[in-house]
Amino acid sequence: MSKEQQLQLDAILRQGGLDTSADVPKLRAAFSELMAQVPVAPDVQQKPVELGGVAGIEVTVEGNAAENVILYFHGGVYVIGSAAASVPLVGDLVRRTGTKAITVEYRLGPEHPYPAAVDDARAAYEGLLAQGIAPAQIALAGESAGGGLAVALLLSLREADVALPSCAYLMSPYADLTLSGETLAGKRELDPLLSPDGLRARVPDYVGGADAAGPYISPIFGDLRGLPPLLIQVGSHEVLLSDALRLAERAAIADVPVTLDVTPGVPHVFQAYAGLLDEAGAALDRAADFVTTQLAQD
């Protein structure tokens, strides 16, 4: 693993970083411009789909004859981001797991505050079940807000007595919208992407009039008993590091099989930079081992 790679990536991210405290239209435009520069590998195939009335993109790789599926939730503080923007990262995961994936176009705030994202996530999952796909053939995955949404979905399904998927893979989960984690301040200077002020500016867009400490908004405050195995990956340079640490702790206390995988010296959702950072590819390899092992349990 190269310290030079880490420093190079940090410089790139600081130079082209997003101002998450900007007004929403400007933020979305800047994000779209940034993500348009990220190439999709030539072997990755995309197809628009709909699950339970929710739009998404099916992502496959040539040569995969996949019966299992990853239901994927993109990041973006519940305000920006899109299924299309997640395709390069999802493609890397699909290639390694031999599955197909569907990345979900869940509704965003402030136009559609909580519980719209949770409702869409659940509709998409139940849409897979309605197609005859067994829960054991489904893995959840998500990055940042999408990681938090994946856990919120698990809690919602468990409370409704709906059969749970095989596992969930969470990259840098945004799991505490009360912003009470100690690393928000402690890692502020190290994080090239996110800041406490930027996160704080966006919380009302999603939370609206709800309680930010509610378990379907901030899963670290939920009762995690009965959830399937979790893999939580996070970088040590993230202001959201404490979200991952506390979520793993809550899962362990609740007897949930959980693996916490902290990579030193890397930023938020570092797995997205597999072409620049050795640690990113290695983390995705470990995630693929986890997902394929869990999907093979049936």
Catalytic residue among 105, 143, 238, 279: 238
pLDDT score at 276:
84
How many degrees, rounded to 5, is the angle at CA 127 between CA 123 and CA 129? 120
pLDDT score at 123:
98
pLDDT band of 69, cuts 50, 70, 90: very high
pLDDT score at 16:
66
- How many residues does the structure list for the chain? 298
pLDDT score at 44:
94
pLDDT band of 1, cuts 50, 70, 90: low
pLDDT digit string (tens) for 116-168?
A: 999 999 999 999 999 999 999 999 999 999 999 999 999 999 999 999 999 99
pLDDT score at 4:
85
Tell me the chain's radius of gyration from C-alpha atoms: 17
Catalytic residue among 144, 172, 218, 242: 144
pLDDT score at 26:
86
Model pTM score: 0.96
Q: Are 76 and 144 in contact (CB under 8 A)?
A: yes
Tokens of 33: 């411009």
- Residue 144 among the catalytic residues: yes
Residue 100 has pLDDT above 90, yes or no: yes
The torsion region of residue 39 among left (phi > 0), alpha (psi -120 to 50) and beta comes to: beta
Cα(58)–Cα(49) distance, rounded to whole angstroms? 6
Cα(31)–Cα(121) distance, rounded to whole angstroms? 22
One DSSP character per residue, 14-78 reads HHS---TTS-HHHHHHHHHHHHTTSPPPTTEEEEEEEETTEEEEEEEETT-----EEEEE--STT
Cα(170)–Cα(181) distance, rounded to whole angstroms? 18
Percent of the chain with pLDDT over 90: 80
Contacts of 159 (CB under 8 A, 6+ apart): none
Q: Are 241 and 213 in contact (CB under 8 A)?
A: no
Q: Are 70 and 100 in contact (CB under 8 A)?
A: yes
pLDDT score at 298:
62
Summarize the confidence of residues 174-195 as an average pLDDT: 95
One DSSP character per residue, 98-109 reads S-EEEEE----T
- Residue 238 among the catalytic residues: yes
Sole residue written with tokens 């989960």? 173
Which amino acid would we find at residue 164? L
pLDDT digit string (tens) for 235-285?
A: 999 999 999 999 999 999 999 999 999 999 999 999 999 888 999 999 999
pLDDT score at 53:
98
Q: Which of 22-36, 42-56, 104-118, 149-163 has the lowest mean pLDDT?
A: 22-36
Q: Of 69 and 38, which is predicted with more confidence?
A: 69
Cα(141)–Cα(205) distance, rounded to whole angstroms? 23
Q: Could you give the 3-state DSSP secondary structure of residue 123?
A: helix
Q: Are 224 and 251 in contact (CB under 8 A)?
A: yes
